[in-house]
Amino acid sequence: MRRLSAFALLVLVAILAAGCAASRSSPSASAGTIGAPAAAPVPAGDAAKRGEAVGGTTPQSGIPSLVSTGRDLVLTANLAFRSQDPWATADKVRAIAAGLGGDLLGLSQTGAGDQRSALVTIRVPSSRFDDALAQLKQLDGEVVTSNVDAKDVTDQFVDVQARLGAKKAEEQQYLTLLARANTVDEILKVQGALASTRVQIEQLQAQVSSLKTRIDYSTITMSISPLVTVPGMQVGTWDPSRTLAQAIAALSALFRVAGDAAIWVLVFLWIPLLALVATLVATRVRRGAPA
């Protein structure tokens, strides 16, 4: 009898312990179903597991060394260029962008004659960024300055994508709650939360699209000014006939100046001569007068 009573007592204690554990776990489970849907967790290793970036450029033609695979980069470049005909050079820059699969973002042409200048902004695929810079530097003229910048936006891109995925999961949970809602008040509350979530989804999608466009396409701004040359002078060449012509031109200019000076002297020489004659006459008159 003692053994049976002890066994019954143990069974009763086990039943009570199971009931207490069930009562402790039930509130947390019910809170998870009744409350608002929680945001989906963001995987911590997404940034490390990303593949090769879209813009697979290599550190060539002045590209900084930080341009490497596995990262999302926003590439920009600024060039100052001089050419004989800036407007024609601007048209060539636009043709280079079109040939590489890019397009023209802006074109400004000012001035007239030898004072023409242009400002061109083009966009090319990031994978052809090196090719674009190489072709631009091979245009007729000279490069004054060249500046290339690469901004790493990998973490920002991953973060926005993770937030977008979490909001889409939240939208699905709200849709599930909307299907289970029974009263008008519940339907209105769920619809209000669902509308707010969809607005945030649209904003995040716009950010993702903007970042992707900036990563996939690089921007190059090129200012083109006229190339100033000294008339009759060419660097690196010597032409005796040109030198003789310049010497003759200088000699004729000297004769012209001397002839002009002689004409001025002949025209205005009577004024000092008249003053000299008057002075001599006055001196003789004073000498001949009686004391």
Contact by Cβ (8 Å): 211, 153:
yes
Which strands make up the sheet holding 142-152, listed edge to edge?
103-110, 117-125, 217-226, 73-83, 142-152
Cα–Cα distance list, 188 to 174, 196, 198, 199 (Å): 12, 12, 15, 17
pLDDT of residue 133: 92
Placement of tokens 């005796």 in the chain: 240
Q: Is the pTM of this model over 0.75?
A: no
pLDDT of residue 77: 93
Asked whether residue 103 is domain-assigned, the answer is yes
Asked whether residue 37 is domain-assigned, the answer is no
pLDDT of residue 166: 93
Cα–Cα distance list, 203 to 68, 163, 209, 210, 212 (Å): 30, 11, 10, 11, 14
Question: Whole domain around residue 136: which residue ranges?
Answer: 51-153+216-226
Which of 29-38, 51-60, 203-212 shows the highest mean pLDDT? 203-212
Backbone angles phi, psi at 3, to 5 degrees: -65, -40
d(CA 130, CA 126): 8
Q: What is the mean pLDDT of residues 169-193?
A: 89
pLDDT of residue 160: 92
Nearest to 214 by CA among 32, 87, 7, 55: 55
Asked whether residue 267 is domain-assigned, the answer is no
Asked whether residue 5 is domain-assigned, the answer is no
pLDDT of residue 255: 82
Q: Into how many domains does the chain fold?
A: 1
Which of 29-33, 205-209, 273-277 shows the highest mean pLDDT? 205-209
pLDDT of residue 252: 85
- Residue 181 confidence class, pLDDT cut points 50, 70, 90: confident
Q: How many helices (H) and strands (E) does the chain have?
A: 8, 5
pLDDT of residue 13: 42
d(CA 209, CA 128): 20
Which of 22-31, 129-138, 245-254 shows the highest mean pLDDT? 129-138
Asked whether residue 202 is domain-assigned, the answer is no
Asked whether residue 84 is domain-assigned, the answer is yes
Does 62 or 134 have the greater pLDDT score? Answer: 134
Angle at 275 between CA 270 and CA 278, to 5 degrees: 120
Q: What is the mean pLDDT of residues 13-18?
A: 43
Asked whether residue 176 is domain-assigned, the answer is no
Write the pLDDT tens digit of every residue in 201-245. Answer: 999 999 999 999 999 999 999 999 998 755 554 555 677 877 888
d(CA 146, CA 141): 14
pLDDT at 21 over 70: no
> Which of 8-17, 98-107, 243-252 is least confident?
8-17
Does 265 or 232 have the greater pLDDT score? Answer: 265
pLDDT at 289 over 90: no
pLDDT at 131 over 70: yes
CATH number of the domain bearing residue 82: 3.30.70
If you average pLDDT over every residue of the chain, what do you get? 75
Q: What is the mean pLDDT of residues 105-132?
A: 90
% of the chain residues with pLDDT over 90: 35
Cα–Cα distance list, 235 to 51, 86, 138 (Å): 52, 21, 20
One-letter amino acid at 200 equals Q
Burial of 229 from C-beta contacts in 10 A (0-12 / 13-18 / 19+): exposed
Does 179 or 41 have the greater pLDDT score? Answer: 179
> Which of 19-33, 124-138, 185-199 is least confident?
19-33
pLDDT of residue 248: 87
Asked whether residue 164 is domain-assigned, the answer is no
